[in-house]
Homo-oligomer: A and B are copies of this chain.
Amino acid sequence: MNLKIFDRMESEVRGYIRSFPTLFDKARGSTLIDEANNSYIDFFAGAGTLNYGHNNPVIKQDLMNYLEADGVIHGLDMATVAKKEMLEALDRIILKPRGMNYKLQFPGPTGTNAVEAALKLARLVKGRSNIVSFTHGFHGVTGGSLAATANSKYRDAAGTSLDNTTFMPYDGYLGEGVDTTEYLERMIADRSSGMDHPAAVIVETVQGEGGVNVASAAWLRALEQVCRRQDMLLIVDDIQMGCGRTGRFFSFEESGISPDIVTLSKSISAFGLPMALVLMKPELDVWTPGAHNGTFRGNNLAFVTARAALLHYWSDDAFQETVRRKGIIMRNWLEHIAADYPSGEFGVRGRGMIQGLAAADETLADRIARRCFEKGLVIETSGADDVLKLMPALTIDEKLLCQGLDIIEDSVADVLGVPRLQGRDRKIKYINFRAAR
């Protein structure tokens, strides 16, 4: 595959082209096809952007119709029919049934822009500049978000110091049984701890980029209580984990918490089109007109596709149920791998259809991912590149899902240099195995 022009013309900053060195041409559902007509199963899903798969036909039809009719494509934050209909659908299908009362802000159409807006708003509301973020948290790489992003790979590229954020240990960081929200609250309540009173806490319910770390529902509830007692806003960054990834539309629904601000992006447009949203409780809406702007804050094509997905997938619970079921398949398969290939010293973690296979040896996950690609599976690692991160489209066919899992098991065996275990049909077995989690 001739990738020379990328070597010559694209900055060294390019990344995934190095992990998946081929020239992709077409894509349908969970299948990527390259220029040489090779097919790949996609367990990457645009880093969580393609929860409904590539070129989802249900969604695409609305998009084509809109284009053919010369609908408004770009309109900043002017009112358009497409935007109006998206707002109505979001309200009717998502917010109202959940008893949620949020106003919406359309920042620039990327997750980091949503985080920037959320952090600004929290600071304006509380009149304080400090923000609590967590170990291994990822919230984007523009200046404001980057300060709340933990990974030094990104931080060191800032070229300035990154201030006004205090990092606290995420759930589990201090080991089993240590409730890290107690430490957090102690630091805040103690006026001599050195921690300046934060305006807000920003948190992911599952840290996707950070290594598939899962916060328990109890921890999230404890965190919410700390926010209430210590007069801080609770911001859930649901950019990667929202839109059904963990089962329900919002990843925090199961925990029962009620965030003050929620950020959405990635799969909210449902078709891979750039879009981002900030949801805020109405009483927090202290914005003045235009104080936070962005040229592409009204991506009408994304409104059209977002609405199509809401109508098709979220009008009832059927879709969620398929996610739950496929999540269990993934989890079970991984746990069997962990049990069956002890030399990998694997751990398994995740929620719903985000699952991670954590390896003790820090190069292992990377080698497995590379082997997977050779075998036709697109999959990435996260954390300190020590966790194989499974994030297929939520719409993936169960058979294809199992094929992908099979490739992972094959690759694990290959890389560990041990024989692949029996060729039993794991799929049937695991689907029938319902104890999970």
A residues touching B (Cβ–Cβ < 8 Å)?
A: 1, 3, 5-6, 8-18, 20-28, 32, 35, 46-50, 54-55, 60, 63-64, 67-81, 83-84, 87-88, 91, 103-106, 108-113, 116-117, 119-120, 122-124, 129-130, 133-137, 140-147, 149-167, 169, 173-174, 183, 186-187, 190-197, 199, 210-211, 239, 265-266, 271-274, 278, 280, 285-296, 299, 301, 383-384
Contact = CB atoms under 8 A, between A and B. Distances in A.
Nearest to A160: B129
Contacts of A289: 12-15, 18
Given A161-B163, A167-B195, A296-B110, A147 B141 contact: no
17 contacts: A3-B79, A5-B91, A26-B70, A26-B72, A54-B74, A55-B67, A67-B67, A108-B110, A109-B109, A113-B113, A133-B194, A136-B193, A143-B146, A150-B193, A152-B191, A152-B196, A163-B164
B295 A111 contact: yes
Given A16-B78, A54-B73, A187 B116 contact: no
Contacts of A196: 152, 155, 161-162
A112 B75 contact: no
A80 B287 contact: no
Nearest to A8: B103
Query: Which residue, A141, A183, A196, A199, has most C-beta atoms of chain B within 10 A?
Result: A141
B294 A71 contact: no
B110 A295 contact: yes
A35 B183 CA distance: 50
A346 to B, nearest CB: 20
Contacts of A79: 1, 3, 6, 17, 21-24
A41 to B, nearest CB: 15
B6 A84 contact: yes
Contacts of A301: 273, 301
A371 B129 CA distance: 41
A72 B53 CA distance: 11
Contacts of A211: 192
Given A120-B157, A123-B158, A167-B187, 7 more contacts: A1-B79, A16-B76, A55-B67, A55-B70, A112-B142, A130-B161, A173-B186
Give the top 7 A-B pairs by smallest Cβ distance, nearest first.
Answer: A123-B159, A143-B143, A74-B272, A143-B144, A167-B194, A150-B194, A13-B287
Contacts of A194: 133-137, 149-150, 155, 165, 167
A10 B105 contact: yes
Given A73-B273, A271-B73, A266 B295 contact: yes
Contacts of A27: 70-73, 75
B77 A160 contact: no
Contact of A104 (B9, B81, B193): B9
Given A157-B288, A192-B152, A116 B143 contact: yes
Contacts of A199: 159
Given A137-B194, A273-B301, A295-B111, A287 B11 contact: yes
Contact of A157 (B28, B105, B124, B146): B124
Contact of A15 (B17, B55, B77, B286): B77
B133 A25 contact: no
A106 B301 CA distance: 21
Contacts of A13: 105, 117, 285, 287-293
Contact of A112 (B28, B108, B149, B150): B108
A71 B159 contact: no
Contacts of A274: 108-110, 274, 295-296, 299
A182 to B, nearest CB: 9
Contacts of A145: 142-143
A291 B75 contact: no
A293 B166 CA distance: 23
B25 A80 contact: yes
A227 to B, nearest CB: 17
